[in-house]
Amino acid sequence: QVQLVESGGGLVQAGGSLMLSCAASGIIFSRNNMGWYRQAPGKQRELVAHITSGGTAQYGDSVKGRFTISRDNAKNTVYLQMTSLKPEDTAVYYCRAAWAAYVYWGQGTQVTVSS
């Protein structure tokens, strides 16, 4: 059974930092492209950051220069380091794993940034 378990969300003041983690099980983690997405109330889910199985990262325009995605294949975990957080970063953050035709999602972790 595939599981993606996010952790690290919470309440933080604007300008602060948070580190999200997503621990994967039931997949061959090293083969999967991993991503972080977010969904704010009333908005569509959007890409935050993505990292390929080979380690190439890309970011959504709104987070470039502030967020960093990384992965540890030995720990089957992908991370999202978030800095200089803004109130508009408030959302539920979801982890995504993708390989071939298979796509899996975590249940999400809430990030709230107060002004």
**pLDDT at residue 66, rounded to an integer:** 98
Instruction: Determine if residue 30 is left, alpha or beta; phi over 0 gives left, psi from -120 to 50 gives alpha, anything else beta.
Output: alpha
**pLDDT at residue 49, rounded to an integer:** 98
Interatomic CA distance for residues 98 and 7, integer angstroms: 19
SS3 content of the chain, % helix, strand, coil (to 5): 5, 55, 40
Question: Which residues are 56's β-sheet partners?
Answer: none
The arithmetic mean of pLDDT across residues 64-70, rounded, is: 98
**pLDDT at residue 47, rounded to an integer:** 98
**Closest Cα partner for 69 from 60, 80, 83, 77?**
80
For the stretch 22-45, pLDDT in tens is: 999 999 999 999 999 999 999 999
